[in-house]
């Protein structure tokens, strides 16, 4: 994808295996001592802890058996040197420690940290430790863990979450798969995660956004990918603003595409209206809506700038399709004969298209015919139907599911959800950073499809970029709207209302002459 040219290490996302190889390269090829690197990680994590929670103590540091546990022991030593009260619990027996993790434990003890073995602590005493503490440092399971945590760690995770204490997770919350973002069992609910060396994909998609809290990246001065290829790149509003096409002072509507929305069977007229208005608010030169005749009056009342057509039969669609630059098909379209006819005409037209909602449900029942000019925008349920599997299989590895969909259907696939994943089959995927629980309501996907359709119409040669920018803009608008409306009361029109404000910040200058002064 063009937007990846010159991408920096700071926005690159790697698998856990790649990060371990980068770590190994730094130690073996760059000559950085492993224990020194561990001390740097502990110092960086403690610094972030002190900034976020000044004066909060005692710390309850929970240490596992690997290098993640080693980080924890050294964080405890840092805290003690800073004059803080520290409770340090060896969740994994210290007798099993080896390598740098053992050195870290020995240094912490030498520095005065009292390390208690979990096996020697009764349940009541453990509960008292949680009650007396002000913050938990989770250094139990690192990036090497992939399955469900076993006892006693699973029980400690559950107790940690039940305590209500803020949690700093070291590198990755225990129980979270650092590559996929899946959690097969108990997982720590962190308020902040400090991650090292390179960013791990799992922190930004799947369960990651809901359990990591704020993610802080500390490269520890390494600044190398050691030849490892990122599996994805983070995209946020700051990174995509310069993707918006410019507009000259003498621009006209014909230069910014004509989006046709095909949507809204009986009882679902609002879906098409939302998509059409979102497209109009996202810079499309022209927007048309093909919908059931009974929805025409409502659509014109809401969006007088949209050309609305009442369509009874698929045979009425070709003339509208001929005039379109991009077609958005599916919102509220239903799966009856009317919806089937609409999709059939859209597919046969060969027009660049965004397929969403019921278009995807209908597509799952057809023989897959790849098309390079289409953008599919499934949520996990629709993705599962397209792949003939179950939703948990999609959520177990969202990146893999997205790539699999793309390999079958071609074009660009955007898998919705926290940490939306966008893949085109070329280069690393994109991940739209962030999540917003207020978007968990009907109609938000219709808005997204309209936004993407408008951006695709303006940059028809860059469908992957249009999809990624659409996801980021949609999330940014929702986040701003929720500041005023909250999460529970957020509705799709709130997001549409904020779209012009978001886009205004990215306008590269219209080139308009301000006149003589």
Distances (CA, A) of 346 to 63, 274, 464: 57, 20, 20
Closest CA to 135 of 46, 73, 69: 46
Report the C-alpha gap between 38 and 24 in whole angstroms: 13
Binding residues, as ranges, are 67-71, 138, 142-148, 171, 174, 271, 332, 379, 416-420, 445-446
Strand 232-235 with 86-90, pairing:
unpaired
Annotated binding site for AMP: 416-420, 445
Q: How many CB atoms lie within 10 A of CB 241?
A: 18
Instruction: Cite the annotated binding site for (6S)-NADPHX by residue number.
Output: 67-71, 142-148, 171, 271, 332, 379, 446
Instruction: Pick the closest to residue 200 from 228, 161, 239 (CA basis).
Output: 228
Strand pairing report for 374-376 and 420-423: unpaired
| DSSP letter (8 states) at residue 144 | T
Mapped onto helix, strand or coil, the DSSP state of residue 89 is strand
Peptide bond into 58 cis (omega under 30): yes
Query: What single-letter DSSP state applies at residue 118?
Result: G
Structure-token pair, residue 205 = 């998609």
- The values of phi and psi at residue 265, to 5°, are -75, 180
With beta carbons less than 8 A apart as the criterion, state whether 205 and 419 touch: yes
Q: 459-477 burial by CB neighbour count: b if 16+ within 10 A, else e?
A: beebbbbbbbbbbbbbbbb
My answer on whether omega of the bond before 152 falls inside 30° of 0, hence cis, is: yes
CA distances from 60 to 88, 128, 511 (A): 6, 11, 58
Residues at the binding site for K(+) are 68, 138, 174
Question: Which secondary structure element, helix H or strand E, spans residue 478, and what is its range?
Answer: helix 463-485
Give the CA-trace dihedral at 359, 361, 365, 368, to 10 degrees: 60
Strand partners, 13: 199, 232
Task: Show the 3-state SS of 289-349.
Answer: EEECHHHHHHHHHHCCCCEEEECCCHHHCHHHHHHCCEEEECCCCCCCHHHHHHHHHHHHH
Q: Is 124 helix (H, G, I), strand (E, B) or coil?
A: helix
Kindly calculate the radius of gyration of the chain based on its CA atoms and give it in whole angstroms.
26
């Amino acid at each position: 994808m063009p937007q990846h040219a010159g991408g920096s290490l700071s926005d690159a996302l790697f698998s856990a295996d790649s990060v371990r190889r980068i770590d190994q390269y730094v130690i073996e090829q760059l000559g950085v001592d492993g224990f020194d690197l561990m001390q740097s990680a502990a110092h960086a994590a403690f610094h972030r802890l002190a900034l976020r929670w000044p004066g909060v103590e005692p710390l309850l540091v929970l240490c596992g058996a690997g290098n993640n546990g080693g980080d924890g022991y050294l964080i405890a030593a840092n805290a003690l040197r800073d004059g803080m009260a520290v409770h340090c619990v060896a969740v994994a027996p210290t007798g099993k420690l080896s390598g740098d993790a053992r050195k870290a434990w020995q240094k912490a003890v030498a520095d005065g940290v009292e390390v208690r073995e979990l096996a020697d602590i009764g349940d009541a005493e453990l509960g008292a430790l949680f009650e007396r503490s002000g913050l938990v440092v989770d250094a139990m399971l690192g990036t090497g863990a992939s399955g469900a945590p076993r006892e006693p760690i699973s029980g400690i995770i559950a107790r940690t979450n039940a305590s209500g204490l803020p949690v700093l997770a070291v590198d990755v919350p225990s129980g979270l798969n650092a590559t996929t973002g899946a959690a097969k069992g108990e997982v720590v609910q962190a308020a902040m995660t400090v991650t090292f060396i390179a960013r791990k994909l799992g922190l930004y998609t799947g369960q990651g956004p809901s359990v990591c809290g704020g993610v802080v990246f500390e490269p520890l001065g390494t600044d190398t990918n050691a030849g490892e290829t990122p599996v994805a790149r983070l995209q946020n509003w700051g990174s995509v603003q310069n993707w918006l096409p410019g507009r000259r002072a003498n621009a006209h509507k014909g230069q910014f595409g004509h989006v046709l929305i095909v949507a809204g069977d009986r009882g679902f007229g609002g879906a098409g209206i939302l998509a059409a208005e979102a497209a109009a608010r996202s810079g499309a030169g022209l927007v048309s809506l093909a919908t059931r005749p009974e929805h025409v009056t409502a659509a014109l009342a809401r969006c007088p700038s949209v050309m609305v057509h009442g369509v009874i039969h698929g045979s009425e669609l070709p003339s509208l399709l001929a005039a379109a630059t991009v077609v958005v098909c599916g919102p509220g379209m239903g799966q009856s004969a009317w919806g089937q006819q609409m999709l059939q005409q859209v597919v046969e037209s060969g027009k660049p298209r965004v397929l969403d909602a019921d278009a995807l449900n209908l597509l799952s029942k057809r023989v897959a015919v790849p098309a390079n000019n289409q953008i599919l925008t499934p949520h996990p349920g629709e993705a599962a139907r397209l792949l003939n599997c179950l939703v948990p299989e999609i959520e177990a590895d969202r990146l893999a599911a997205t790539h699999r969909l793309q390999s079958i259907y071609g074009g660009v696939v955007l898998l919705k959800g926290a940490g939306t994943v966008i893949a085109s089959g070329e280069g690393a995927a994109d991940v739209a950073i962030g999540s917003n629980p207020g978007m968990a309501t009907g109609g938000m996907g219709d808005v997204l499809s309209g936004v993407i359709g408008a951006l695709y119409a303006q940059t028809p040669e860059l469908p992957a970029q249009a999809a990624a920018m659409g996801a980021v803009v949609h999330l940014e608008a929702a986040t701003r709207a929720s500041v005023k409306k909250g999460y529970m009361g957020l509705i799709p029109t709130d997001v549409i209302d904020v779209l012009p404000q978001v886009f205004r910040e990215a306008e590269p200058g219209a080139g308009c002459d301000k006149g003589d002064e």
